[in-house]
Amino acid sequence: MIVIEKALPEHVNGIAEVCSNGYRHTYEETHSKEYIERVIRDFYNEERILKEVKHSSREWNGWFVALDGDNVVGAIGGGMIGSEEGEVFVLYLDPSRKRERIGSKLLNELTKDQLRRGAREQWVSVSKGNSKGIPFYEAVGFTVQSEQESYQNLEQEAYKSLRYRRYL
Protein backbone atom coordinates (compact mmCIF):
# COMPACT_ATOMS: atom_id res chain seq x y z
CA MET A 1 0.00 0.00 0.00
CA ILE A 2 1.21 3.50 -0.84
CA VAL A 3 1.12 6.09 1.94
CA ILE A 4 1.76 9.81 1.36
CA GLU A 5 3.47 11.67 4.21
CA LYS A 6 5.22 14.94 4.92
CA ALA A 7 8.91 14.00 4.61
CA LEU A 8 11.15 13.52 7.65
CA PRO A 9 14.97 13.52 7.84
CA GLU A 10 14.93 9.72 7.55
CA HIS A 11 13.50 10.09 4.02
CA VAL A 12 16.26 12.36 2.69
CA ASN A 13 18.33 9.57 1.19
CA GLY A 14 15.27 8.10 -0.56
CA ILE A 15 14.21 11.51 -1.93
CA ALA A 16 17.70 12.12 -3.35
CA GLU A 17 17.70 8.70 -4.97
CA VAL A 18 14.20 8.93 -6.47
CA CYS A 19 14.81 12.45 -7.82
CA SER A 20 18.26 11.65 -9.24
CA ASN A 21 17.14 8.43 -10.92
CA GLY A 22 13.86 9.99 -12.03
CA TYR A 23 15.67 13.01 -13.47
CA ARG A 24 18.17 10.88 -15.44
CA HIS A 25 15.40 8.65 -16.73
CA THR A 26 13.21 11.61 -17.75
CA TYR A 27 15.81 13.68 -19.58
CA GLU A 28 18.32 11.18 -21.01
CA GLU A 29 16.91 11.56 -24.52
CA THR A 30 16.52 15.35 -24.58
CA HIS A 31 19.29 16.88 -22.43
CA SER A 32 23.08 16.60 -22.33
CA LYS A 33 24.76 14.49 -19.69
CA GLU A 34 26.49 17.64 -18.35
CA TYR A 35 23.15 19.42 -17.89
CA ILE A 36 21.53 16.43 -16.19
CA GLU A 37 24.40 15.78 -13.79
CA ARG A 38 24.73 19.50 -12.95
CA VAL A 39 21.05 19.76 -11.99
CA ILE A 40 21.26 16.57 -9.94
CA ARG A 41 24.39 17.83 -8.15
CA ASP A 42 22.86 21.24 -7.41
CA PHE A 43 19.32 20.23 -6.44
CA TYR A 44 19.17 16.59 -5.42
CA ASN A 45 22.07 16.37 -2.98
CA GLU A 46 21.28 15.17 0.54
CA GLU A 47 22.61 18.29 2.26
CA ARG A 48 20.20 20.54 0.39
CA ILE A 49 17.25 18.15 0.72
CA LEU A 50 17.80 17.82 4.48
CA LYS A 51 17.54 21.61 4.85
CA GLU A 52 14.41 21.59 2.69
CA VAL A 53 12.85 18.84 4.82
CA LYS A 54 13.55 20.73 8.04
CA HIS A 55 12.33 24.17 6.98
CA SER A 56 8.99 24.63 5.32
CA SER A 57 7.19 27.94 4.83
CA ARG A 58 4.57 29.56 2.63
CA GLU A 59 7.10 29.85 -0.21
CA TRP A 60 8.38 26.30 0.25
CA ASN A 61 5.75 23.85 1.51
CA GLY A 62 8.27 21.10 2.22
CA TRP A 63 8.71 17.68 0.64
CA PHE A 64 5.99 15.02 0.60
CA VAL A 65 6.96 11.40 0.00
CA ALA A 66 5.16 8.34 -1.30
CA LEU A 67 6.16 5.37 0.86
CA ASP A 68 5.85 1.70 0.02
CA GLY A 69 6.70 0.25 3.43
CA ASP A 70 9.89 2.10 4.38
CA ASN A 71 10.86 2.76 0.76
CA VAL A 72 10.52 6.20 -0.81
CA VAL A 73 9.02 5.54 -4.26
CA GLY A 74 8.07 9.13 -5.13
CA ALA A 75 8.53 12.72 -3.95
CA ILE A 76 6.94 16.11 -4.57
CA GLY A 77 7.71 19.65 -3.45
CA GLY A 78 6.07 22.99 -4.09
CA GLY A 79 5.30 26.40 -2.72
CA MET A 80 3.12 29.48 -3.01
CA ILE A 81 4.26 31.97 -5.66
CA GLY A 82 1.50 34.52 -5.02
CA SER A 83 -1.47 35.11 -2.73
CA GLU A 84 -3.66 32.68 -4.69
CA GLU A 85 -1.07 30.81 -6.79
CA GLY A 86 0.63 27.58 -5.83
CA GLU A 87 3.37 25.88 -7.83
CA VAL A 88 4.70 22.35 -8.19
CA PHE A 89 8.48 22.77 -8.15
CA VAL A 90 9.48 19.12 -8.37
CA LEU A 91 7.80 15.71 -8.82
CA TYR A 92 9.59 12.43 -9.42
CA LEU A 93 8.90 8.74 -9.07
CA ASP A 94 10.98 5.62 -9.01
CA PRO A 95 10.99 5.03 -12.80
CA SER A 96 9.78 1.45 -12.33
CA ARG A 97 6.67 2.64 -10.42
CA LYS A 98 4.83 4.74 -12.98
CA ARG A 99 1.11 4.54 -13.80
CA GLU A 100 0.12 3.27 -10.35
CA ARG A 101 -1.50 6.62 -9.47
CA ILE A 102 1.40 7.50 -7.16
CA GLY A 103 1.98 10.78 -9.01
CA SER A 104 -1.71 11.67 -8.64
CA LYS A 105 -1.65 10.91 -4.91
CA LEU A 106 1.44 13.06 -4.37
CA LEU A 107 -0.03 15.94 -6.36
CA ASN A 108 -3.32 15.70 -4.40
CA GLU A 109 -1.49 15.98 -1.09
CA LEU A 110 0.50 19.04 -2.15
CA THR A 111 -2.68 20.54 -3.62
CA LYS A 112 -4.60 20.08 -0.35
CA ASP A 113 -1.80 21.91 1.45
CA GLN A 114 -1.84 24.73 -1.10
CA LEU A 115 -5.65 25.03 -0.97
CA ARG A 116 -5.36 25.51 2.82
CA ARG A 117 -2.88 28.31 2.10
CA GLY A 118 -5.40 30.02 -0.19
CA ALA A 119 -4.39 28.73 -3.62
CA ARG A 120 -6.98 29.07 -6.39
CA GLU A 121 -4.65 28.14 -9.19
CA GLN A 122 -1.57 25.99 -9.55
CA TRP A 123 1.44 26.31 -11.84
CA VAL A 124 4.18 23.99 -13.03
CA SER A 125 7.16 24.38 -15.36
CA VAL A 126 7.89 21.40 -17.57
CA SER A 127 10.76 21.01 -20.02
CA LYS A 128 9.57 21.29 -23.59
CA GLY A 129 9.61 17.79 -25.06
CA ASN A 130 9.23 16.05 -21.71
CA SER A 131 6.95 13.31 -23.00
CA LYS A 132 7.10 11.60 -19.59
CA GLY A 133 5.65 14.50 -17.60
CA ILE A 134 3.42 16.49 -19.97
CA PRO A 135 0.73 13.81 -20.55
CA PHE A 136 0.28 13.51 -16.78
CA TYR A 137 -0.12 17.25 -16.20
CA GLU A 138 -2.53 17.57 -19.11
CA ALA A 139 -4.55 14.60 -17.80
CA VAL A 140 -5.02 16.32 -14.43
CA GLY A 141 -6.19 19.58 -15.98
CA PHE A 142 -3.13 21.77 -16.63
CA THR A 143 -3.00 23.75 -19.87
CA VAL A 144 0.04 25.42 -21.40
CA GLN A 145 0.32 29.20 -20.93
CA SER A 146 3.74 30.21 -22.22
CA GLU A 147 7.23 29.16 -23.20
CA GLN A 148 10.47 30.39 -21.65
CA GLU A 149 14.18 29.63 -21.40
CA SER A 150 14.87 26.90 -18.82
CA TYR A 151 16.21 28.72 -15.81
CA GLN A 152 19.09 26.29 -15.22
CA ASN A 153 20.50 27.05 -18.70
CA LEU A 154 24.11 28.15 -18.90
CA GLU A 155 24.87 30.81 -21.50
CA GLN A 156 25.50 28.39 -24.36
CA GLU A 157 22.44 26.22 -23.57
CA ALA A 158 18.99 26.86 -25.03
CA TYR A 159 16.62 24.39 -23.37
CA LYS A 160 13.03 25.60 -23.22
CA SER A 161 10.40 25.18 -20.52
CA LEU A 162 6.63 25.38 -20.77
CA ARG A 163 4.59 27.07 -18.06
CA TYR A 164 1.37 25.18 -17.29
CA ARG A 165 -1.57 26.28 -15.12
CA ARG A 166 -4.77 24.77 -13.79
CA TYR A 167 -7.57 26.28 -11.73
CA LEU A 168 -8.23 24.59 -8.39
Residue window 132-161: x/- pattern of binding to ligand COA, with contact defined by CB under 6 A: xx-xx--x----------------------
Q: Cβ closer to ligand COA: 15 or 126?
A: 126
Residue window 24-43: x/- pattern of binding to ligand COA, with contact defined by CB under 6 A: --x-----------------
One residue of 61, 114, 122, 130 binding ligand COA per CB under 6 A? 130
Name residues whose C-beta falls within 8 Å of residue 95's C-beta, 6 or more positions apart in sequence.
21, 22, 25
Q: Cβ closer to ligand COA: 14 or 103?
A: 103
**Could you give the C-alpha distances from 117 to 59, 60, 109, in angstroms and in order?**
10, 12, 13
Binding to ligand COA, residues 70-109 (CB under 6 A): 91-93, 98-104
Binding residues for ligand COA, how many (CB under 6 A)? Answer: 20
Q: Would the CA dihedral through 14, 16, 17, 23 be positive or negative?
A: positive
Minimum Å distance from CB 130 to ligand COA?
5
Minimum Å distance from CB 135 to ligand COA?
3
Q: Cβ closer to ligand COA: 101 or 120?
A: 101
Euclidean distance between CA atoms 165 and 138, whole angstroms: 10
Binding site for ligand COA (CB under 6 A): 22, 26, 91-93, 98-104, 124, 126, 130, 132-133, 135-136, 139
